[in-house]
Amino acid sequence: MQFATFILATQRGYHQTSDSVIHDAIEQTVLSEQAGFDTAWFAEHHFNNYSLVPSPLMMVAHCAGLTKRIRLGTAVCVLPLYQPQRLLAEIGFADVVSNGRLELGVGSGYQQFEFERFGVNIDNAPAVFSEYLDIVLKGLSQKIFSHSGQFMQIPPTAISVRTIQKPSPPIWIATGSPSSMRRAYRERHNLLVTALHNGLETLGALRGMIQEAAAAEFKSPGDAKISLLRCCYASADGAEINR
């Protein structure tokens, strides 16, 4: 078992400035490495104070210069909100400046108001995610690639900045969907999953879903790495914990 820090960079109140929240998140990353954590993951959100990180790859690139060992991950890049060709170059750049420490987490997104403000139809998010992931996989594995799909047409294209990790950084799919879980096992990706604040019953159901997805692809659950997000708050003050 490995342990990681998921850094949301929440602005809990307007008594906190945005720059203090971001610098605290960076300091938390440095301290996570010193404490022996294996990975620091950075969220992506927009237009709210739930998370002040608009680009997890920018956090990876910045924290790469302040750390040496800890792996740095995106949790997640919301693929339907990206242009995949540009994202591919930024993935390569982040892996280069981190000396091959990038963990690439991707997801379809879920916050409707974010999609509305980007002019993207959230109803199409699962299908767009699937197609854009196809494009990302092509761009990571092929020096020149093209794509003809429902949402994107790309002529023969070369991505100049290539990742250090071959054939690509580890790819993690954030999902609670059986079909996406099956894809992860089928294509040898990893899983980012959560039971949110729920307890053992929800965790058991999640485990069952993972087992069924693996079996459907003639795999065992252990054929993929599984990152389970659990929420915690550390304090000696019970009232503070509850609040």
Place of tokens 């709210």: 48
Average pLDDT over residues 218-227: 98
User: What pLDDT is recorded for position 242?
Assistant: 85
The encoded tokens of residue 166 equal: 């071959």
Cβ atoms of 29 and 35 closer than 8 Å = no
Average pLDDT over residues 200-218: 97
Reported pTM? 0.95
At residue 203, does pLDDT exceed 90? yes
User: What pLDDT is recorded for position 134?
Assistant: 98
% residues pLDDT > 70 (the chain):
100
According to the 3-state scheme, what is the secondary structure of 10-65? CCCCCCCCHHHHHHHHHHHHHHHHHHCCCEEEECCCCCCCCCCCCCHHHHHHHHHC
Q: Where are the chain's structural domains?
A: 4-174
Question: At residue 152, what is the residue type?
Answer: M
The separation between CA 42 and the C-alpha centre of its own chain, rounded to angstroms, equals: 7
Q: Running DSSP on this structure, what letter comes out for residue 218? A: T
User: What pLDDT is recorded for position 234?
Assistant: 82
User: pLDDT tens for residues 20-69?
Assistant: 999 999 999 999 999 999 999 999 999 999 999 999 999 999 999 999 99
The encoded tokens of residue 213 equal: 């997805």
Residue 197: band (very low, low, confident or very high) from pLDDT cuts 50, 70, 90: confident
User: What pLDDT is recorded for position 94?
Assistant: 98
Q: Which of 50-59, 91-100, 107-116, 233-242 has the lowest mean pLDDT?
A: 233-242
The greatest distance separating any two alpha carbons of the chain, rounded to the nearest whole angstrom, comes to: 59
Residue 241: band (very low, low, confident or very high) from pLDDT cuts 50, 70, 90: confident
User: What pLDDT is recorded for position 230?
Assistant: 93
CA distance 115 to 192: 21
The kind and range of the H/E element at 157 are: strand 153-158
The separation between CA 48 and the C-alpha centre of its own chain, rounded to angstroms, equals: 19
Cβ atoms of 64 and 101 closer than 8 Å = yes
Residue 119: band (very low, low, confident or very high) from pLDDT cuts 50, 70, 90: very high
User: pLDDT tens for residues 1-18?
Assistant: 999 999 999 998 889 999
CA distance 79 to 129: 6
CATH fold for domain 4-174:
TIM Barrel (3.20.20)
Whose CA is closest to 130, among 90, 86, 182? 182
**Edge-to-edge strands of the sheet including 171-174?**
4-7, 39-42, 71-78, 102-107, 171-174, 190-194, 226-229
CA distance 69 to 64: 9
Question: At residue 136, what is the residue type?
Answer: V
Average pLDDT over residues 184-188: 98
Verify cis geometry, omega within 30 degrees of 0, for the bond prior to 193.
no
Taking all residues of the chain, what is their mean pLDDT, rounded to a whole number? 97
At residue 233, does pLDDT exceed 90? no
